[in-house]
Structure 1
Amino acid sequence: MNSKNSCENPCPIARCLALIGDAWSMLILRDAHFGLTRFDQFRKNLGIAPTILTKRLTTLTEEGLLEKRLYSEHPPREEYLLTVAGRDFLPVLIMIGAWGDQYRGEGKLIQLLDAETGVRIKPVVIDEMTGKKIGTRPIRIVIPDCDELTKD
């Protein structure tokens, strides 16, 4: 799947995965949420090749999850800051982490704590319209101009 073809795909999951479905992009966004902004910080923390990092940062910037800002004129240096769309991706990352904690949680793992209370975060996804936890009720998928699919 590539991002060119995914724009026509009616599934928002497929569209998102075409954009940031690789591990490097998600880890860059994770690190940006935890305060990293500069190329060398990302490279050092992730152990990622510079060419791969450049490509991922370019894509995340072009797609509006990060924005570049000049922080030094001599020599010219830019940093990468989260946009609103990038900040809105944090709950997705937190839920991926919670799934990983439950199903891939062997050994030592980092913990996410509420900064004010120090209590460990245990995220859940709630449907805003019904207040119900996602995954506990059947979901109906409606594809425009197609028959409905039901997930029980």
Structure 2
Amino acid sequence: MPRQSPTLARALENPCAIVRSLGVLSDSWSFLIVREAFLSTRTFAQFRERLGIASDVLSARLSALVEHGVLQKSPYREPGQRSRDAYDLTPAGEELKVVMVAMQQWGEAHVRQRKEPRVLPVTTDTRERVRAGLLDPHGRIVPDTEVAFVRTNAAEAAST
């Protein structure tokens, strides 16, 4: 298991879930690997080919995503080849779907591109486009203008 950097170790111990999440999904390659996993990419060679990523960087990112429970290894063997590991999303990795959809929505709205998107989130049955949204505890959609981040008592106590 690779040794964690002091910066990553601090991030993973942070009381803020956003900081901890960024400790796991620390760079754009991690998000692109997750995107490819949603597109059924499973093997090291497939990830390397589809992303154009250096082997050492890919190896480090895959190891980190496995270590943090986003991906899991599963052995496979091509005919005539040695056994290798494929990478599959864990339930925690599957839950990143809403994050990825939200990032795509934001990018399409605020980082304009003249080309059509190459990847779209759609329902599996009707193939209709889906969007990420905010829900209250009762499952009702809440507009983003009606949502605020607030500091908790724990955060206020930590700052004093």
With the length of structure 1 as denominator, give the TM-score of the two structures. 0.86
Q: Match for residue 122 of structure 1?
A: 131
8 Å Cα contact 2:102/2:131 also seen in 1? no
- Give 1:34 shift: 1.2
CA 78–8 in structure 1, closer or farther in 2 if over 3 Å, else same: closer
Q: Alpha carbons of 1:134 and 1:143: their partners in 2 closer, same or farther (altered >3 Å)?
A: farther
Question: Paired residue for 1:99, among 100, 106, 110?
Answer: 106
Distance 1:31 1:47 in 2: 12
Structure 1 gap ranges (5+): none
CA distance in 1 between partners of 2:92 and 2:125 (Å): 25
Query: What is the aligned counterpart of 2:149 among 123, 139, 147?
Result: 139
CA deviations over 1:12-35 (Å, ceiling 9, x no partner): 001101110310001101110110
- Residues 122 and 129 of structure 2 are in contact (CA less than 8 Å); yes or no, is this contact kept in structure 1? yes
Q: Identical aligned pairs, as a percentage? A: 31
Deviations 1:65-120 (A, max 9, x none): 11111102841211001111111111101100110011113111233333322322
Unaligned runs of 5+ in 2: 1-5
Cα-Cα RMSD = 2.4
Match runs of 1:6-45 below 5 Å: 6-45=11-50
Amino acid at match of 1:113: V
| Matches of 2:9 and 2:153, distance apart in 1 | 20
Q: Give me the whole-angstrom Cα distance separating, in 2, the residues matched to 1:40 and 1:139.
A: 41
Tell me how far 1:145 sits from its aligned partner.
Answer: 5.8
Instruction: Give the TM-score normalised by the residue count of structure 2.
Output: 0.82
What residue in structure 1 maps to residue 87 of structure 2? Answer: 80
Q: Is 1:5 paired with 2:10? A: yes
Secondary structure (helix, strand or coil) at the match of 2:86 reads: strand
What is the alpha-carbon distance in structure 2 between the residues aligned to residue 112 and residue 118 of structure 1?
A: 9
The whole-number CA distance in structure 2 between the counterparts of 1:143 and 1:17 is 23
- CA distance in 1 between counterparts of 2:124 and 2:103 reads 20
